[in-house]
Amino acid sequence: MAHRRERCARSQPSSAMKKKELNIADRLGYFSDWFRAKRAIALSLLYLKRLREQASAEHTGSNKKAMLQVQDMQQAKNLIIKSVQSITFPEELKSLKPSQHVKSHEDRSSAPDRRSSLKESFSLRKLDPFIDSQGILRVGGRLRNASLPFEVKFPVILPRRSHVTTLVIRYFHESVKHQGRGMTLNEIRANGYWIIGGTSAAGSYIWSCIVCRKIRSAVVEQKMADLPEDRLEPTPPFTFCAIDYFGPFVIKEGRKEMKRYGVLFTCLASRAVHLETSISLETDAFIILYAAEGRYDNYEATREQILWAPTMS
């Protein structure tokens, strides 16, 4: 008897774990891409189908490799959405009776009955939800006569906080090349998805998107260092000066065309400016210019330091 009790105790958590493993939405936490998640579920369904064929008597024994089709991806997407909705909207799905399934876009006469069957506390009541023929919860509305696909007129309802919702937002945000919240949300709804609180959900994801944060981040400004002492202490003009070259300017000397450069002397203390002309950019030309200017002696005899900063255009 004791052994039987131990076996029963062991079998209970295992059955609970098996039930938990059947929840597809929780298993998708491994994936970070919507297309890859759908492809993984589609391959799993294809593998299940192959195992059933092998177990049935109709199996011919062919080892032909099965390829994924568009229908397989669509079936995987529907299965994922149904799993998410069964977790997030269990009460709403119970309130909408199986007899209220909409087989086509023309069957909209029972909309008032469905609306009254939902409690006022339900967040989906204003969306006029209904369950289609595949068991998926969709948004109702008045677009029955629009020449649009069924998925666009009656989009699938997704919760605000779900990993599948994050995958959908990421997929369409990258498909529009990391544009803003409005473009991302329009692309999501144009592909047949309606997210509860979609504006805040899309904005929250875009705010955390690394690429968008890099593109839309503010320009970083470097904090400038303290001014040197040479620019703060009162000194005679051109005691401390900076020099810059600009030019060249093409001049004519007889029949020859020659280049000349302007030399800008700037006093660091008073910001006074003096201009001279140099025949070239060589060091010898500057030394000759600096030493041969006798008219500097009247107000630059006390020059102690020169900051060299040549920039030529």
pLDDT value, residue 205: 92
Who wins on pLDDT, 252 or 126? 252
Query: Is 13 contained in some domain?
Result: no
Q: How much is the pLDDT for 114?
A: 56
Q: Which among 26-30, 72-76, 225-229 has the top mean pLDDT?
A: 72-76
Per the prediction, the chain carries an average pLDDT of: 77
Q: Count of alpha carbons within 13 Å of 243, Cβ hemisphere only?
A: 18
Q: How many domains does the chain have?
A: 2
Q: Does residue 144 lie within any of the structural domains?
A: no
Q: What is the pLDDT of residue 285?
A: 86
302 or 256, which is more confident? 256
Q: pLDDT digit string (tens) for 109-167?
A: 555 555 555 555 566 778 888 888 888 888 888 888 888 888 888 999 999 888 999 99
- Sequence-distant contacts of 222-228: CB under 8 A, at least 24 apart: 228/268
Q: Is residue 103 part of a domain?
A: no
Mean pLDDT of 227-253: 85
The answer to whether residue 279 is domain-embedded is yes
Q: Report which of residues 189 and 97 the model is more confident about.
A: 189
Residue 195 lies in a domain: no
Domain assignment of residue 206, yes or no: no
Tell me the pLDDT tens digit for each residue of 156-203: 999 988 899 999 999 999 999 999 899 999 999 999 999 998 899 999
Q: Is residue 132 part of a domain?
A: no
| pLDDT band of 17, cuts 50, 70, 90 | very low
- Whether the pLDDT of residue 259 is over 70: the answer is yes
> Last residue of some domain: 31, 51, 84?
84
Q: What pLDDT score does 292 carry?
A: 62
What is the residue range of 79's domain?
A: 20-59+67-84
Q: Which residue has the higher pLDDT, 150 or 288?
A: 150
Q: Is residue 191 part of a domain?
A: no
